[in-house]
Structure 1
Amino acid sequence: MTSPLADTAPAPFAVPGPAEKQSGTETTAAAEEPTESQGFYDIAKPTCSLNLVCYRSGAKGCDLVQVQCVRRSMFSSDASFATVVETHPRLVHADDQFFREICRLYTTEMCGFFRRYFSLKTLRAFRVLTFTPTTRPTVVPFDDFVLQEMMYAYRHPDRLSSTHDWVDWVFWLRQKDRRHALEFVEG
């Protein structure tokens, strides 16, 4: 026998469908699908994630992880910002921390032990990709100088002169209608 509450309780994080809406509310196509001005993604959050992608041949195919960034200007006070950063230690808020976290994610979670120590492939370059929920990723044309500067910062995070320019860049990539990813190109 099932509990009477099991039938009425919604699933966690469930979005009510048209049949589950309260009586007296209208359901229109505009309310169900995001419009051009509404977009697919929420860009008002104080955090922003950047997808890290590495395409490989084989059974696994594509490795995908995320780095989560946070900006001080999105918080009302230093105390609230410090509380969030202490509560979530993986949130990145400085440039050197950003590149150290990218390096950690690439070497530990995307490569693994055998790939790190026995593979002849190494990281050659970065590419920035853009995608939407309905389209495949496409390469964003960036100047080679910017991508080389990113590679230098990745390899030497302790030599960065900026404190939050790259974190601001991640937030700059965020848009309502599309997301971006940083592709690791191996060779």
Structure 2
Amino acid sequence: MYVMQYEITLPSDYDMRVIRRRVSVRGPALDAFPGLGLKAYLIRERGVDGSPVNQYAPFYLWASTGGMGRFLWGGGGFGGIVESFGRPAVRHWTGIACLAGPDRGDVPRYATRHTWPMPTDADPTGLVAEAVADLEGRARRPGTHTTALAVDPRSWELVCFALRTEAPDTADGAVYQVLHLSMPHLGKITRTA
């Protein structure tokens, strides 16, 4: 599994209905995209759920690097982002685990993303094992659709992503609204906690 996200921060007075319309029209195009485990079309609105910004920030879980490459530079969809907003930096992580939650059959309305650095003097083996155990606990929480854990070995940063059917505790990291969810190959990358 490969994990990626890009964030397009918009002006504070930006009409977020523009993004909502964009997603309602273009979102279903990836509902059967080869190699895509999951794409969550996410936004943050200034003043909503503690967000200081307006932002469009899709989050991806890829089942294959071929699918990811096709999307980014093979004409599979990223060109529309570049055309509309310029080319944003794409953050990416190596996937560790993707777990189904008790609400997998329901439609998630919220997402959270929490990142934290791995201490430089700590062995990654123990830190990742602890993070996986924590992820398993998060996956069993009521209101959880999907959780995922990944690491960036360049900066030694961990990221925990969760899709939720209920409003999350803002202490879980950045809170997003889910506008659409494409999950053509989510079953290929998921295990049960």
Bin of the TM-score, shorter chain as denominator length: under 0.3
**TM-score for both structures, normalised by structure 1:** 0.28
Structure with more of its chain in helix, by fraction: 1
**TM-score for both structures, normalised by structure 2:** 0.27
